[in-house]
Amino acid sequence: MASLSVSVKHSLPSLLQYAQTPKYPISHNLTIVSRSSQSQFYGLKVIHSPYISTPSSSTRTSIVAKVNKGTAPPPFTLKDQDGKNVSLSKFKGKPIVVYFYPADETPGCTKQACAFRDSYEKFKKAGAQVVGISGDDPASHKAFAKKYRLPFTLLCDEGNKVRKEWGIPGDLFGTLPGRQTYVLDKDGVVQLIYNNQFQPEKHIDETLKLLQSL
């Protein structure tokens, strides 16, 4: 299939207000291929290198989903906002909503966290736990949870190890950590995967809809 490569040199759109400033200069190659369910930009498969503008085929990488509906995700143990270790296995026996978000105190992430907070009683009524995960440290999570009175657990995925193990795709050509939500049933099996970077509140609607059908 024919492909078209373009070089992205201009500044990214204002939607980057949701992300932290990248640590390295960014240069990308985009290959237009086909519609992808993993991307907010239909028709784009993102291939990137943080150091060179035209990487060889041996250095090109793309994200492939490692967690799928109907499977059990890789286990993890992470620190919560109080510095205590929390394992995914702790929640087995009841449904759990695990949502990955870019960063504390960014506009979209704050809106999403507060939406989960405002609907928390509905999640409790459905018998489900809510857990948020980002790359922030415990101190950041603690301040974020206190400021917005978040009644649920926030976990610290420093180094984005779990994000990589679960295969969560990034947005905006890989510069923005993906916003992806999973619903696991009481047996720890994934029943829903929902990805929507720029409409954070829709994650709450979709997860509640699924939980109420279990």
> Where do runs of H (alpha helix) occur along 35-172?
107-118, 120-125, 138-147, 161-166
Q: What is the DSSP letter of 172?
A: T
pLDDT tens digit string along 149-186? 999 999 999 999 999 999 998 888 778 899 999 999 99
Nearest to 182 by CA among 106, 107, 115, 88: 88
Determine if residue 53 is left, alpha or beta; phi over 0 gives left, psi from -120 to 50 gives alpha, anything else beta. alpha
Nearest to 81 by CA among 180, 168, 147, 125: 147
pTM equals 0.70
pLDDT tens digit string along 113-149? 999 999 999 999 999 999 999 999 999 999 999 999 9
List active site positions. 109
Quick one: pLDDT at residue 65? 56
pLDDT tens digit string along 60-111? 334 455 899 999 999 999 999 999 999 999 998 999 999 999 999 999 999 9
- Give me Rg for the CA atoms of the chain: 18
Tokens of 186: 């009481």
